[in-house]
Copies of this chain bind each other. A is one copy, B any other.
């Protein structure tokens, strides 16, 4: 579980304001959920958590969509895709060190992967100027992998 940070929210608030947008209760609420999230969240998951947090009042689902889209446009959040059809979002690299995800195909557990496996490798592409990439890994986590001599070996 990552450390929550008020500093993150503050910095992002500045990004919003500098871009000419208002700092409103719904936007602050959505961001507080994203800052506290350990894994990428679906819009509906963000919306659900807003029910509990957010100090009582809720945020309309449309507003969550609008806020997420705004934040994506500003580069504050980025979309993440696991194998299922769903679209998830997490804070972008300004607030989270560049990383990828490992998703357990059996239990769905998500783990951050760093360092990035494609660090400087992308460069041999005949002139294509690579500026970013999406990578996710799939497989079996420790708990789900078929029991191996691992435990006996002490790893």
The stretch of A16-24, A34-42, A58-66, A121-129 that contacts the partner chain = A121-129
Oligomeric state, in number of copies? 2
* Other-chain residue from B102, B126, B133, B134 in contact with A128 (beta carbon distance below 8 A): B102
A15 within 8 Å of B by Cβ?
A: no
User: Are A145 and B127 in contact, with the CB atoms below 8 A?
Assistant: yes
CB neighbours of A81 from chain B (8 A): 81, 134
CB neighbours of A140 from chain B (8 A): 128-129, 131
**A137→B132 CA distance, assembly (Å):** 6
CB neighbours of A136 from chain B (8 A): 133-134
How close is A29's CB to chain B, nearest CB, in angstroms?
24
User: Are B87 and A87 in contact, with the CB atoms below 8 A?
Assistant: no
User: Are B127 and A133 in contact, with the CB atoms below 8 A?
Assistant: no
Name the residue of chain B whose CB is nearest to the CB of A124: B117
CB neighbours of A127 from chain B (8 A): 142, 145, 150, 155
User: Are A102 and B130 in contact, with the CB atoms below 8 A?
Assistant: yes
How close is A40's CB to chain B, nearest CB, in angstroms?
14
Q: Please judge, given known A-B contacts A130-B138, A133-B135, whether A121 and B125 are in contact too, CB under 8 Å.
A: no
Mark A107-118 against chain B: 1 for CB-CB distance below 8 A, else 0: 000010100011
User: Are A131 and B139 in contact, with the CB atoms below 8 A?
Assistant: yes
